[in-house]
Structure 1
């Protein structure tokens, strides 16, 4: 699960990109340094309330819109996966399971 800092950074990036702006353009509008905007978007900085307000103003959105995001719900995702697999023929399920196992092994190797 993403931290609030990471989720907020991703939300700011998405809102900025929706405007078609670079980090530099947002920084100028928010009266902040472009490097600081980049650090926020990567979830590296805790942002003060004053700077959150500057970012919202720079994006021309309401302050509450910055926090209009939702965390992924693992149980809901599992239910969606189960629903997708429910009607698959048995040979397709075996094929899918084999590939999921390979992906998980690959992920395990890339995480180390």
Structure 2
């Protein structure tokens, strides 16, 4: 797989994590939806300016776009998303995340149980 395909798959992965269509990512990034599709399929040799637009649209650091291996959503991306909310709302979201983490730990068997 070449760099364009790897990069395109990474953009698609991040877009899907956000629950967005190509059209939504294009709108948030100031790009044409057809162009986003071509980038995701590895058909375009994307410019640095458009890479920056995609990072901005996805609310992530540029470097995250080049991490081609599958990773959980990084804390930095969560922080970036929360910055858009009032402090009171940030605390509300944090409580929800803590509750989900506790629930997931209870549902997931520990390694000693396996």
> How would you bin the TM-score normalised by the shorter chain?
0.5 to 0.7
CA root-mean-square deviation:
0.6
TM-score scaled by length of structure 1: 0.61
Query: Match of 2:32?
Result: 33
Query: Match of 2:17?
Result: 18
Counterparts in 2 of 1:52-67, with a 5 A limit? 52-67=51-66
Q: Give the CA deviation at 1:19.
A: 0.2
Q: Give the CA deviation at 1:69.
A: 1.4
Q: What SS is found at the alignment partner of 2:15? A: helix
TM-score scaled by length of structure 2: 0.60
Task: Find the aligned partners of 1:58 and 1:64 in 2 and give their Cα distance.
Answer: 14
Task: Find the aligned partners of 1:59 and 1:46 in 2 and give their Cα distance.
Answer: 19
**CA distances 1:70-92 after superposition (whole Å, capped 9, x unpaired):** 4xxxxxxxxxxxxxxxxxxxxxx
Task: Kindly tell me the number of residue pairs found equivalent between the two proteins.
Answer: 69
